[in-house]
Structure formats: structure tokens, C-alpha cells
Structure 1
Amino acid sequence: MSVSFHDYLVIGISSRALFDLEEANEIFETQGLDAYREYQFAHEEDILKPGSGFPLIKKFLDINAKMNKKLVEVIVMSRNSAETSLRIINSLEHYDLDIGRMVMSGGENISRYLKAFDVDLFLSANAKDVELAIEDGYPAGLIYPHAKYDLPSDQIRIAFDADAVLFSDQSEQIYKAKGLDAFVANEIKNQDTAMEQGPMAHFLFRLAQLQKACANTHYLRTAIVTARDKNAGIRVIKTLRQWHIIVDEIFFLQGAKKADILASFGADIFFDDQDIHAGPASEVVPSARVLPTNNKEKT
């Protein structure tokens, strides 16, 4: 019987986002494919260390066990070829990750396969794959390199920037062109007009569905962390109401540092469109950039 991926929250994650493959990738970048192949063969039995996306994926898969029902599907999507992928498979088994599906593209871009699995979120360390995914209307983030994080909770905690992430970049373009005062005036004037959906909106909707499926369990918590102040934030609140979406926590920082709030929140991942915010955040919590593209709406 065929599987309908629409029944699950589907996360596609690259092997470099799930595991720490930076040493192997550096060999590929500096010495070429043959050296990379030899390195992977020589280290085939060496278990990979967790990467930036590992805690998030582990917690999502734990939901299936806690609910005694499959609600989340994770697919490893790797540019490795089949012959160099055994180290990844061995590491999946070592950590007892319930991941059975893999894409091994042999160097080709991964984004072309997102539709086949109806992916709701794609995390990758390859900028081109992320750009193409967002252009095709799939929520995607360029994950920052692995660092050791001390995440305080077993609960899944996901944080989003607002403009150009959950919402379109139309308001942000006013800020860039005319400045802060014009931006705030526009948001107050249009506070009853819902903003258009941004690149990560579909993922937020799917998270809301997962929260309903796990009602009264408190397995998942969401937050918006934005540089907007409270006056410009009114439109954020009213847009979420019109979308029929409840976000657990919202922070209107008026330009204060996002990293400090994210560390206190204990985000398993934070999505932002600007390196000036996502970079410092990645030093305290796993973070991913939502790259600018000509977005298409995911259907």
C-alpha cells in the first residue's frame, strides 16, 4: 500500500545538517571527489558526531514514540552517492533514529525531490539547494555549522523572525527604502490588513496541525522573535488571528539582541533571513537562514 506523505509533518534534512560532516566536506572542497571518496571509505565504520540539526530531528522523532503514532516523517537527503553513504547509514543506526527513507543524489541538487515527498521543511548546509527549494515554494533554511548547544528542555522549541520569514518582505522593503519611521507608519496604517505569507508560513501552519494532534501534551512550543516594536507588532498579532494560528510566545524587541532572548527561550532552531541576526544566534542555539529568492507559493 502506498504512503501518503500528506498525513505527516515531513522534514527533509541533508546529511551535513544532521551530522557533523565538516571535515569530510573540507576534503571534498579542497582535494576533490576522489579524495573525499577515499576518506569516506576509510572512515566508514566511524560514527559521525551530531550536527546542528540533530537535536531537533531527535525530538521530532520522539513525538512518534510518545504518541504511539506516526506523526512526523524524516528523510535524509544527501548529495552523497550510494557508495559513500554507508557511514551515514551506520550513524543513523547507532543513534537509533527511526529514519528509513533516504535520497542519495550523487552530487545533484536535492531540491528537485522535495515535491515527491511533500516536504514541509528542508534543512541543508548547501546554499544552492536552499535557494532552489524556497524558489519552488518549500520552507527551507541554510543551517549554520555545528556547535555544541546546551538545550534546556525535552520540549521542541522553534522560533521565527517575522518579516521575510513568516511574512512576506513587503513591509521590510519599505523600511529599506524609506527608513524606520515610514515602516512603522505603514504597519500602523495597515494593521487590520493581513500580511502575505512568507517562505516559512507553510511550516508554521503544519506545526499548528501537529500541536493539535498532540493536544494537551505540550511537546511543541513556537515563538516569534522580531525587531519590530509593539506598535508595528500589532499587525503581526492581527495577521496571526486572520490566519487562525496561535504562537505561544512573541517578542517585540525594538532592535534589542535576538540571541539573548533565543538563549533564554532555548530554541531548537531559529529561522531568520539576515546573517546579522542568525549568525550571532547560531552561537547559542541552532539557527538557519532563510535565503532571499523570488518566492513562489507552495500548493
Structure 2
Amino acid sequence: MVSTVQNTDVKQKDADCAVVVAVTCRAVFECGADDGEDVYGMGVAFPLLQAMQAVNGRLLEENPAESLLFDVILITTDSQHQQQSSRIISSTRHYGLEVGRFCFSSEEDFIESLLKNNVQLFLSTDRNKAHEASQKGVLSALLDQQVAPSEQLRVMFCGDAVIRPDAESTSASRQAAQSFSAQLGEMRRRFGMLDSPLSIVMVMSLGGRESCGGALQTLRSRGLCVDEAYCLAGAPRSPIVSLLRSHFLVSDGFSGLED
């Protein structure tokens, strides 16, 4: 069973134009046992939500009628959390989080809840859930658990997957990645070169300059131009990833920042 509740504290986004992002409740809040507190503690997804809100805020400053905005859905399959739904909603209100909807579903209906809400990007700290969603055609990524609070949303793209998609990725997940790339690219073009609240990074682990150039061309053909590009030519990816501190990594299949 899937139950979706609108957040009446925020203005609902245009369903035809918004970029719908679902984030797990466990990533947003430290949802432990009932400790008597009125609100949950802040989880690892707080920097992400703050950065997305900053992007939305800047877009609306430039154009109050802007419809290309991030539409965040908070989703949970934990029965204990669902029994404390009022606490989740009040916690969102307490922290001033711009969450448009709350989605409560069973484990069995988890994928249905994503599809029913037209989710274009699913973010979680649970590798199994992210992989499951990706296999069903929903673009998914793991959240970096060490990102410091920042008003700039930093999104990393895997250049290797752009030109050589993972054999395990489905055509639906690859199409989802391309669609998200186009929307993100359009959003990035709303801002100038300097002082942008949104930054696109590409990291190429394998190959040389030609491979890197090919990946950049492919992304441009999808409508996405990057702010920074790194060609590692076979060197380990972890060191540069730890320095860049992007919020999440987009691949044509499914990948985590620590890979």
C-alpha cells in the first residue's frame, strides 16, 4: 500500500516541469527509537536538501514564475516511522525543509511508490534499495555521508559510464540518466558562469584525453555542460572524489561515490 501526503506548509511544484527527487527518511533524519523528543535529529541528507533549496531560491529570485525546480519527496518503508508520521512532518517543519510530499509505503510497494510519484532521482544511504530502484528504471545514487553543509549543490557525473554504460544497467535506467542530465543542464543554464548555486563535475577514471573529450561531447549532446572535468587515466578515483565532496554521483546505471 502506498500513501502520499502533501505538505501544506510549502507551495506545490508544477508536476509537468519540476525535477522530482525522492530521499529516504532515514537519510534526512536520525530516526532512532522514540526518545521523547518532538523532532528527529538531522541526518546525512541535510546538506543535500539545503543545497537544493538554495538552487530553488536562486531560480525564483531570477524568475518568480520559474517552474523548473527541485520537488523533494520524503519516502519511508519503515513501519515504525510510519507510526510516527506526525513526528516526521513536524521535524520537516521545525527545520524549514522544502519537502513537497511525504510518501509512506510497504517494502513490497517501494518501487511502486517511486513510479507512482514520477520520481526522476532516488537518493538513499541504503545500497540495496538504490540498486533495486535502478534495476526498475529509476535513476538512483548513494548519498555521500561526509559532505559538509554548503549552499552549492555539487553533482558528479561518471564519465566512464557515459561512453561505456555498465552491462548491468537497464535501458530504462540509462534513459532516466539522460533525461535527468538534460533537466539538470537546463537548470544550470539559468545561472551565469560565476557564483552559481549549482555545479556539475565529471570524473573520468579510465582512458586519456580522447575518452574524456568523448564523454564531454556526449554530455553536451544531452544538454549538459560541466563546470569541472577530471581525467584520471587509470588512477584511483577515491582521492579526487574525497576532495571534490560532491553530494552524489550520477551514472548511467547505479554507482556510489566511494566506488
Q: In which range does the TM-score fall when normalised by the shorter chain?
A: 0.7 to 0.9
Unaligned runs of 5+ in 1: 25-38, 174-195, 281-299
How big is the alpha-carbon RMSD for the aligned residues of Structure 1 and Structure 2? 3.2
Answer whether contact 1:168 1:199 (CA < 8 A) is retained. Answer: no
CA distance in 1, matches of 2:228, 2:162: 16
Q: TM (normalized to structure 2)?
A: 0.75
**CA deviation after TM superposition for structure 1 residue 257, in Å:** 3.3
Contact 1:167 1:201 in 2 (8 A): no
Counterpart among 193, 200, 208 of residue 222 in structure 1: 200
How much has 1:199 moved relative to structure 2?
5.8
AA partner of residue 51 (structure 1): G
Structure with bigger strand share is: 2
Aligned position for 2:98:
98
C-alpha separation in 1, matches of 2:39 and 2:163: 36
Verify: 1:163 aligned to 2:160, yes or no. Answer: yes
Contact 2:55 2:153 in 1 (8 A): no
Q: Whose helix proportion is higher, 1 or 2?
A: 1
Match of 2:16 in 1: 6
The SS at the match of 1:205 is: helix
- Structure 1 residue 254, shift from structure 2 partner: 1.3
Mapping of 1:102-181 within 5 angstroms? 102-143=102-143, 146-147=145-146, 149-150=147-148, 153-164=150-161, 168-169=165-166
* Structure 2 counterpart of 1:43: 35
Counterpart CA distance in 1 for 2:109 and 2:124 is 11
Q: Tell me, in whole angstroms, the C-alpha distance in 2 between the residues paired with 1:212 and 1:267.
A: 19
**Bigger relative CO (Cα 8 Å, ≥ 6 apart):** 2
The one-character-per-residue Cα deviations of 1:236-261 (angstroms, maximum 9, x if unpaired) are: 13323433421121111012232332
The one-character-per-residue Cα deviations of 1:142-174 (angstroms, maximum 9, x if unpaired) are 336x44x435x522111122234685226x99x
| 1:256-275 aligned within 5 A | 256-271=235-250
Q: Say yes or no: does 1:209 pair with 2:186.
A: yes
Task: Provide the C-alpha distance between the structure 2 equivalents of 1:121 and 1:274, rounded to a whole number of angstroms.
Answer: 11
TM-score computed with the length of structure 1 as normaliser:
0.66
Between the two proteins, what is the percent identity of the paired residues?
25
Q: Which of the two has higher C-alpha Rg? A: 1
The change in CA–CA distance for 1:60 and 1:267 in structure 2 (over 3 A counts) is same
User: Which whole-Å CA distance do the structure 2 matches of 1:166 and 1:143 have between them?
Assistant: 23
**Alignment deviations for residues 184-210 of structure 1 (CA, whole Å, 9 cap, x no partner):** xxxxxxxxxxxx946633322221121
Give 1:221 deviation, angstroms. Answer: 0.9
CA spacing shift, 1:20–1:268, aligned 2, 3 Å: same
Contact 1:6/1:118, CA 8 A, preserved across alignment: no
* CA positional deviation for 1:96: 0.6
Instruction: Check the 8 A contact 1:47/1:91 in 2, yes or no.
Output: yes
Cα distance change, pair 66–235 in 1 and its aligned pair in 2 (3 A): closer
Match status 1:84 vs 2:84: yes
Distance apart, 1:227 and its partner CA: 0.7
Specify which of 29, 37, 57 is matched with residue 65 of structure 1.
Answer: 57
Whether 2:237 is the aligned partner of 1:245: answer no
CA contact (8 A) 1:224 1:249 kept: yes
Aligned residue in 2 for 1:17: 27
Equivalent position SS for 2:42: coil
Task: State the partner residue of 2:7.
Answer: none
What are structure 2's unaligned runs of at least 5 residues? 1-11
Q: Is the 8 A contact 2:39 2:87 kept in 1?
A: yes
